[in-house]
Chains A and B, each alone.
Chain A
Amino acid sequence: MAETIWLFLGLLGVLTLASAIATLLSWKSRRTSDVLPSTLVNLNARIKAWWIMIAAISIAFLFGKGGVIFLFAFVSFAALREYVTLTHTRRGDHRILIGMFLVVIPVQYYLLWIEWYGLYSIFVPVYCFLAMPALTAISGDTERFLERVSEQQWGIMLSVYCISHVPALLTLAIPGFEGKGLLLIAFLIVTVQGSDVLQYVFGKLFGKRKVAPKISPSKTWEGLIGGIVSASLLGAALAWLTPFAPAEAGLMAALAAIMGFFGGLVASAIKRDRGVKDWGHMIEGHGGMLDRADSLIFAAPIFFHIVRYFWT
């Protein structure tokens, strides 16, 4: 309990500091020109959105397991909606699409709620994987069949299955860490999102060599390395939230940061393929839900399984 309070006080401090810096920068820039540069406008919007996101997560934490499961079911809903909007769908897909929202999301999160690991870890990649193409085939429309079916699979894997591995951390029985699953979730979210922010900051300050210029002009080696190293240090410093020793916590944070980077890269590739800059407009300054959750999507399942393998 004391850990939770310290964590949120820490987050509050960081956000207050960020807001203060942004306000100072905006104030300085307003003295020299009437128009605020777009980077600063975006920075202000991003920080404001962070306040709202932290508030939402805090409220979910207050409600415990149910609150966190509900929050991530909503994240899945918003992410899947953004994803499906960008895919090719045909009239014959209507029922499958409704099923993705009204059946797959509730069932996956219900299985989490009853902590049935044996089923929630294969429900999407086995049962939905086979049921959805079968139902699409029954509908009889074969036009771009493989493409439609694959896009649906990807959608629920990314938006539902992978994201659900964040609250799934609550179901792990780690000896000596009973009842503290929420802290592990906080550790994952803080290191992954922190690494996103740190990569952005290091990239803006020192970024020169682009990692994948064809996919994302904003991802640089300097940002990537600076982000991963600083996120590892952050993780090591937050070891008291976790069942890990400080060095282990640093390694887990580095892993989460690297996976998060790949998540962002893949999301950028999909967006580029579809000719859009952002997934949506749900979170001001950041874009859509998927723009914020892409790194978590890649980090969560790997983080979950490593903890499950080595610590339970």
Chain B
Amino acid sequence: MKAAIQRLAAMGLAGLARAITGVRPIWQGCAPSGRQRIYFANHSSHGDFILLSSSLPPSERSRTRAVAGADYWRRNKVRHVLARDILNTVLVERNWVERSEDPMVIMLGALEQGSSLIFFPEGTRNMTEEPLLRFRSGLYNLAVARPDVELVPCWIENMSRVLPKGALLPVPLLCRVIFGAPVVLEEGEDRHVFLDRAREALLDLSPERQKALAHG
């Protein structure tokens, strides 16, 4: 029953996302595949993970769960039901001091069950003028714990304009999700070096960098 509701909600949301944003996936650095993956993306809007999951082939969409902040999604009952039962998100507590469960345990648990993850390594929605914030350690920890899972950078274009923070209604604008080549953790690679490299790989997919590349 729950699974049926989730599938229906996912289909409905994907349809809605496509009707509003005409979202198109651009598989630039890799192809859609049945491999277990962590899709890591830039984050500036609640619509981000809906857009990303709508860009995946339906079979992948149903096994891919978004990692979201428990402090936000558990703040009231409606949000909690939405996040847990309808959107099937993996809720992790971000606050170091007050948290009761280790986010790593929760995320590794979801990976253990065979899910792919949508992960926002900035840790929060980016509200600055900068294209991308510094990455937190989460991505590195996941890469160390599960070297068999592919880490795919995904640039989500325009979603911050479609549904900025605090806005209730989306503005219909065309969006794209650009999938880059998987980033692989090298043996003994330093945490900072890896996180910077992953961040650069994601930034390389942003329109500014793509334009610069196209013009040589």
Q: Which residues of A contact B (CB under 8 A)?
A: 77, 81-82, 84-85, 89, 91, 94, 97-98, 101-102, 275, 280-282
Contact = CB atoms under 8 A, between A and B. Distances in A.
Contacts of B169: 98, 102
A290 to B, nearest CB: 11
Given A81-B172, A91-B164, A94-B171, 19 more contacts: A77-B172, A81-B22, A81-B174, A84-B173, A85-B158, A85-B173, A89-B161, A89-B171, A94-B164, A94-B167, A98-B171, A101-B171, A101-B172, A102-B169, A275-B211, A280-B174, A281-B22, A281-B24, A282-B22
Contacts, number: 29
Contacts of A280: 22, 174
A187 B161 CA distance: 39
5 contacts: A77-B172, A81-B174, A84-B171, A94-B167, A94-B171
Interface in B168-191: 169, 171-174
A48 B24 CA distance: 21
A97 B171 contact: yes
B172 to A, nearest CB: 5
Contacts of A94: 164, 167, 171
B212 to A, nearest CB: 11
Interface of B: 22, 24, 158, 161, 164, 167, 169, 171-174, 211
Contacts of B24: 281
Contacts of A89: 161, 171
A106 to B, nearest CB: 14
A280 to B, nearest CB: 6
A48 B172 CA distance: 27
A103 to B, nearest CB: 12
Contacts of A77: 172
A98 B158 CA distance: 15
Given A98-B169, A280-B22, A281-B24, A85 B174 contact: yes
Nearest to A81: B172
A41 B186 CA distance: 43
Q: Which 8 A-B pairs have the closest CB atoms?
A: A97-B171, A85-B174, A85-B173, A81-B172, A91-B164, A98-B169, A94-B167, A98-B171
